[in-house]
Amino acid sequence: MDDKLKIGDFEFNSRLFIGTGKYENLDIMKKAHEAAGAEVVTVAIRRVDLNDKSDKSLMSFIDTNKIKILPNTAACFTADEAIRTARLAKAAGLPNWVKLEVIGDKKTLMPDNEETLKATKVLVKEGFTVLAYTNEDIVYAKKLEEAGAAAVMPLGAPIGSGQGILNPNNIKIILEQAKVPIIVDAGVGTASDATIAMELGADGVLLNTGVALAKDPVRMAKAMKSAIESGRDAFLAGRIPKKLYASASSPIGDTIK
């Protein structure tokens, strides 16, 4: 069955985008990526440590024949910082797309939507495929889409919190009105959270901490893979409406007396 995820010019079979942060070591990360069947993994861009000469490159643990690397602008607090980070990622040889993340509050890591919108406009003009991280807010989701974002990524819950999908109704509203793919990004703590996002009709899920900090990250990556596939199938299959009263599955009459 052809059920590909299309973002800008890119196409994927897997709907699970997974991070590269917080793993105990890079071998486990690599195995988790394999178990997740990942075709997209996120990375961050940071200053090199001029005093640290150890050169254990993250990149050598990512199979770029199978996996497309999605740079993020995590920890940027202004549009300007995010734009510069995206440009640096491209100059580092990464694909011409970006998970645009502009943070507005240190404690909650909630997005600054105004700055995100500003940065989206500039980066789209420069030819970037922009995947914009935002709140589960229909107004900004629409604004980002109108500004040319190739995908909008509403949060399920604060980054790394593992609280799950806190506002399914708001995500549903975004999904009903969106013309671009919607990737639920952040807050997914366990498999059922990912399934819920997909059952709502999300086009994909992006997660990091839920897998990286699980007791067994490789097993959790496998669980997330099947959770997302199950949720997608359930969405496409079309669930039954919820009813207040029972509706018998076995014939009511002709029972023995």
- Binding interface with other proteins (CB under 8 A): 19-23, 29, 42-48, 50, 53, 55, 57-59, 69, 71-72, 74, 84, 87-94, 159-160, 186, 206-209, 212
- In the complex, least distance from residue 238 CB atom to other proteins, rounded to whole angstroms: 32
Is the Cβ of residue 19 or residue 181 nearer to other proteins in the bound state? 19
Least CB distance from residue 207 to other proteins, whole Å?
8
Nearest CB to other proteins, comparing residues 43 and 157: 43
| Coil, helix or strand at residue 125 | helix
For other proteins, the closer CB: 6 or 46 = 46
Distance, CA of 188 to CA of 228 (rounded, Å): 11
* Cβ–Cβ under 8 Å, residues 35 and 218: yes
Spatial neighbors of 231 by CB under 8 A, at least 6 apart, are: 194, 195, 196, 197, 198, 199
| CB of 179 vs other proteins, minimal distance in Å | 26
* Bridge partner list, 12: 5
**Tokens matching residue 122:** 């500039």
Residue 6 is among the residues annotated as catalytic for this protein = no
> Closest Cα partner for 224 from 244, 240, 236, 208?
208
Tell me whether residue 75 or residue 173 sits nearer to other proteins (CB atom). Answer: 75
* Active-site residue, from 31, 68, 99, 257: 99
Which positions are catalytic? 99
